[in-house]
Amino acid sequence: MQTAAAKNGRHRDAARATSVVAAAVMATLALFEIGLAAGLPWGSAAWGGGQPVLSAGMRLASAGAAVVWSAGLLVVLRRGGYRVWAPLPRSWTGAAVWIFAAYAAFMVLANAASPSGTERAVMRPASVVLAVACALTARWGATPSQQMTPTGR
């Protein structure tokens, strides 16, 4: 039978790995949203797929989404045990990552209902990965006293 310390160590390692997965998905989403905000013709994969190039209002919404995803990736890495700056106190990272997990789960449903085939094919699986990675990171992530240095010590 394994000790509690060994089990906690495995959970901490899993949280570090899943936080990197979640952060990678969030970074990709942020870059995608920046491209949309800049006027790239990727609108068929976003916001219901109705406009290849987004209107000014939708571009502004994409810029805001890019900021949220960028902040989110820092929060999820912090919860995963990495010593990175995040826009929230450490004590709030668990709740924040649960909120990202819930939002990603909602995105799965929204993307599944989208009239855009591209959005259903690309964004729905990305949302599933993000929801699972955020939930595991939130559940097993480091508490403030367990934060690690970038080298893992």
3-state per-residue secondary structure call for 61-102:
HHHHHHHHHHHHHHHHHHHCCCCCCCCCCHHHHHHHHHHHHH
Average pLDDT of span 118-131: 96
Task: Report which of 83, 67, 81, 88 is spatially closest to residue 136, judged by C-alpha positions.
Answer: 81
Q: Looking at residue 44, what DSSP letter applies?
A: G
pLDDT tens profile 100-114: 999 999 999 999 999
Task: Report which of 73, 102, 99 is spatially closest to residue 87, judged by C-alpha positions.
Answer: 73
Average pLDDT of span 26-49: 96
Q: How far is CA 14 from the centre of its chain?
A: 16
Amino acid at 69: W
pLDDT tens profile 52-66: 999 999 999 999 999
**pLDDT band, very low/low/confident/very high, at 18 (cuts 50, 70, 90):** very high
The token duo for 52 is 């290849």
**pLDDT band, very low/low/confident/very high, at 25 (cuts 50, 70, 90):** very high
Mean pLDDT of the chain: 91
pLDDT at 2 over 90: no
Which residues are within 8 A (CB) of 73 and not within 5 positions of it... i.e. 6 or more apart? 22, 23, 26, 27, 30
pLDDT at 28 over 90: yes
Predicted local distance difference test score (pLDDT) of residue 151: 47
Rounded Cα distance, 79 and 146, in Å? 10
Would you say 142 and 38 are in contact if contact means Cβ atoms under 8 Å apart? no
pLDDT at 153 over 50: no
Average pLDDT of span 70-77: 97
